[in-house]
Amino acid sequence: MTRTSDLSELQSIARTVRRDIIEMIGAAKSGHPGGSLSAVEILVTLYFDVMKHDPANPTWPLRDRFILSKGHAAPVLYSVLAETGYTPKDQLNTLRRIGSIYQGHPDRRFIPALEASTGSLGVGLSLGLGMAEAAKLDKSPSRTYVVLGDGEIQEGQIWEAAMYGGFHKVDNIVAILDNNRLQLDGWVKDIMGIEPLADKWAAFGWHVIEVDGHDFVALQAAFAEAEATKGKPSILIAHTVKGKGVSFMENNPKYHGVAPTKEEVELALKEIG
Amino acid sequence: MAAKYELKLGAATREAFGKALVELGKENENVVVCDADLSKSTFTHLFGKEFPERFFSCGIAEANMVSIGAGLASSGKIAFVASFSAFVLNKGFEQLRVNVAYSGIPLKVVGTHSGISIGEDGPSQMSVEDLSLACSLAGFTVLSPADEPSMFALVKQAAYHPGAVFIRAGRVKVPVIYGPEQKFVIGKGIQLTEGTDLTLISTGLMVAECLRAAEVLEAEGLSVRVIDLHKVKPLDRELIAKAAAETGCIVVAEEHLVDSGLGVRVAQVVTETSPCVMEFHGVNDTYAESGLPEEVLVKYKMTGADVAVTARRAFGRKK
């Protein structure tokens, strides 16, 4: 796989990933484009630059762990796994079809390189804490990264995990909150407000880093700051735009869980370039 | 009845679990334990005292505990999570389903204070549906040992079992059934007595009650087979089919809701192999109440004498 810290290369990869997302959800005629597009820069930064991992050796014990706790954003993860060489790129358009390794939500029975099968919201951060604790016990440098949805943190288990991480000083885990401000039924602030986000996580003992979730340079700096932070876990509150990169999907709750039509796919691909 | 069982009280199965954990911890540094503020009741505190760096205190947050255990197990640890059966299964069920069963993670889950024999604390803490819940988790192995030696041996085996395991333990001291020479194998039930007229099948503390029932029935001239199915899932089909064919009459007794526990599972095997007369003895679609454990067991008909009543009824139908 290509590893790169170069801004223009990362931007080019992000374009490819966005195209993959639109094409595979378009082909599947169902799926979650909005929350996949909002997390593109986060996953690209992690998989191509920040995380230590090896697609040729997915069970390398010292690898960093990644959990997509907001499992409905599976397309962005599938694209990144394919673009890094874990899984076949030419099967991406079998998303959600019977027998496909690209299941509706990430399923490690079909893709062993996945650290977790996710899709039921709220459980991924706790799972990541277990992996982080195991790494500490083994004195392994392995770090654990967990991407959470903003709607997802309405789940109570997230706060059990937040309490655990802060109390036990699990400083080898990083949560990334994809704060795109929309959930299925509408704006997060109207369904069940989650603010003040930074204050809440800080109160639970986490090091909070607010970052533009579409700015590679800012994300790189934020992950470096998280790694340098000892004695407490870190959370990146990544301010993002749901549907980012496709104008008619941006900030539009309709595209939380609705696939683009054939015409919309063409329009979107033209825009992404 | 070929063998006579002298039923002397031994330790509670939860205590045997705690002691087995310590031994496991000594022999394998990969063993880790999570608890949710009940370590003194689940006896995981014995492990915590011995191996504090491998003991994860999760606070009163069972869902988080189960997922953390799954994370530890998926990173190669032999991870145990423990709480009262009612809490770890009911509050942690979604996590057991998604992070453990569906994800194929070999977590070891132990529920103590199962059944109605916990007594004074009452129904909010009593788990009468845990076998049902645990058995509904695809791929899980479900164990329900009857006494101190079998719990000790099976916990140690469960640690090295390749898949996810749920182990049901009890609060109260229970009679010792097995001697030191007894071998336990995950997957094999144990036939405790020979018998040709009818078979009593049970698990957990009801095994001792079935032995008591058998003694009463033998005195009345019946030849009674008693089977301990310490493995509730998957079942020892061979042993069940043989009992069905050879005795033609089976009573299943359990400290669990009778409509969804061991009995219906045994009935499935009997129906598929050698259909015979069956009756089911357990908690009948209700929640029990506070009281001394022995009082609660008597009131809700969980004694050998009660099992004998059901057995006579079943045997009557056989004729």
Question: Measuring CA to CA, how many Å separate B312 from each of B5, B245, B278?
Answer: 21, 19, 11
Nearest to A133 among B59, B72, B99 (CB): B72
Indicate yes or no: CB of B76 within 8 angstroms of CB of A128.
no
Q: Which helix (H) or strand (E) holds A217?
A: helix A216-228
Average pLDDT of the segment spanning B218-240: 97
Residue B244 has pLDDT above 60, yes or no: yes
Q: Which residues contact B148 (CB under 8 A, 6 or more apart)?
A: B10, B11, B12, B13, B15, B16, B174, B176
Q: Around Cβ A20, how many Cβ atoms within 10 Å? A: 23
State pTM to two decimals.
Answer: 0.96
**Residue B69: its chain A contacts at CB < 8 A?**
130
Residue B30 has pLDDT above 80, yes or no: yes
Q: What is the phi/psi pair of residue B252, to 5°?
A: -105, 130
Average pLDDT of the segment spanning B177-188: 92
Is B120 in the active site?
Answer: no
Half-sphere exposure in the Cβ direction for B12 (13 Å, CA): 18
**C-alpha–C-alpha distance, residues B211 and A170, integer Å:** 51
DSSP B148-190: HHHHHHHHHHHHT-SS-EEEE--SSEEEE---TT----TT--E
Nearest to A133 among B59, B66, B68 (CB): B68
Residue B319 has pLDDT above 50, yes or no: yes
ipTM over 0.85: yes
Decide: A65 and A128 in contact? Cβ < 8 Å: yes
pLDDT digits 0-9 by tens, A216-233: 999 999 999 999 999 999
Indicate yes or no: CB of B76 within 8 angstroms of CB of A156.
no
Average pLDDT of the segment spanning A75-101: 97
Average pLDDT of the segment spanning B59-87: 98
What is the pLDDT, as a whole number, of residue A166? 98
Residue B134 has pLDDT above 60, yes or no: yes
Residue B11 has pLDDT above 70, yes or no: yes
Structure tokens at A149: 């949805």
What is the pLDDT, as a whole number, of residue B2? 47
From the CA of A131, how many Å to the nearest CA of chain B? 5
Indicate yes or no: CB of B99 within 8 angstroms of CB of A123.
yes
Choose between B86 and A1: higher pLDDT.
Answer: B86
Collapsing DSSP states into helix, strand and coil, what is residue B132? helix
What is the pLDDT, as a whole number, of residue B7? 87
Q: Which of B121, B49, B55 is nearest to B87 (CA)?
A: B121
Indicate yes or no: CB of B99 within 8 angstroms of CB of A116.
yes
What is the pLDDT, as a whole number, of residue B180? 87
**C-alpha–C-alpha distance, residues A55 and A73, integer Å:** 21
Structure tokens at A253: 């709750």
**C-alpha–C-alpha distance, residues A150 and A75, integer Å:** 18
Indicate yes or no: CB of A129 within 8 angstroms of CB of B71.
yes
**Residue B79: its chain A contacts at CB < 8 A?**
130
**Minimal Cα distance from B52: which residue of A?**
A137
**Residue A118: its chain B contacts at CB < 8 A?**
98
CATH numbers and ranges of domains, chain B: 10-176 (3.40.50.970), 190-318 (3.40.50.920)
pLDDT digits 0-9 by tens, B250-276: 999 999 999 999 999 999 999 999 999
Q: For all residues of chain A together, what is the average pLDDT? A: 97
* Chain pair A-B, CB pairs under 8 angstroms: 94
- Dihedral sign for Cα A188, A194, A196, A202, please: negative
Neighbour order of strands in the sheet with B165-168: B55-57, B31-35, B78-84, B108-112, B165-168, B141-143, B231-233
**Minimal Cα distance from A131: which residue of B?**
B71
Collapsing DSSP states into helix, strand and coil, what is residue B65? helix
Of chain A, the end-to-end C-alpha distance in Å amounts to 23
Indicate yes or no: CB of B67 within 8 angstroms of CB of A123.
yes
Decide: B14 and B112 in contact? Cβ < 8 Å: yes
Q: Which of A161, A156, A203, A198 is nearest to A177 (CA)?
A: A198
- Residue whose pair of structure tokens reads 């993959």 in the numeric block: A20
**Minimal Cα distance from A106: which residue of B?**
B103
From the CA of B38, how many Å to the nearest CA of chain A? 17
From the CA of B77, how many Å to the nearest CA of chain A? 7
High-pLDDT (> 70) share of chain A, % = 100
Decide: B58 and B64 in contact? Cβ < 8 Å: yes
Of A85-89, A94-98, B43-47, B184-188, the poorest mean pLDDT is in B184-188
What is the pLDDT, as a whole number, of residue B45? 98
**Residue A130: its chain B contacts at CB < 8 A?**
67-75, 79
* Domain locations along chain A: 7-272
Which of B53, B55, B75 is the best residue to mutate to test the A interface, defined by the most A CB atoms within 10 Å of its own CB? B75
**C-alpha–C-alpha distance, residues B297 and A21, integer Å:** 60
Q: Which alpha helices (H) appear in chain B, and where do they start and end?
A: 13-27, 39-42, 45-50, 62-74, 85-90, 93-95, 130-135, 148-159, 206-219, 237-247, 262-273, 293-299, 304-318
- Residue whose pair of structure tokens reads 């509050």 in the numeric block: B91
Nearest to A130 among B63, B71, B94 (CB): B71
Radius of gyration of chain B (CA): 19
Decide: B96 and B106 in contact? Cβ < 8 Å: no
Q: Which of B204, B273, B215, B281 is nearest to B239 (CA)?
A: B273
CATH, domain A7-272, list 3.40.30.10, 3.40.50.970, 3.40.50.300, 3.40.50.620? 3.40.50.970
Q: Which residues contact A43 (CB under 8 A, 6 or more apart)?
A: A17, A76, A77, A80, A147
Interface of A with B (CB under 8 A): 61, 65, 108-109, 115-120, 123, 126-135, 137-138, 156-157, 160-161, 163-164, 167-168
Indicate yes or no: CB of A126 within 8 angstroms of CB of B64.
yes
pLDDT band of residue B58 (cuts 50, 70, 90) is very high
Q: Render the burial of B284-304: b for 16+ CB within 10 Å, e for the rest.
A: eeeebeebebeebbeebbbbb
- Residue whose pair of structure tokens reads 């079942």 in the numeric block: B235
Nearest to A129 among B53, B68, B79 (CB): B68
Given B62, B148, B209, B279, which residue is catalytic? B62
**C-alpha–C-alpha distance, residues B241 and B237, integer Å:** 6
**Residue A163: its chain B contacts at CB < 8 A?**
59, 61
Average pLDDT of the segment spanning A62-68: 98
pLDDT band of residue B3 (cuts 50, 70, 90) is low
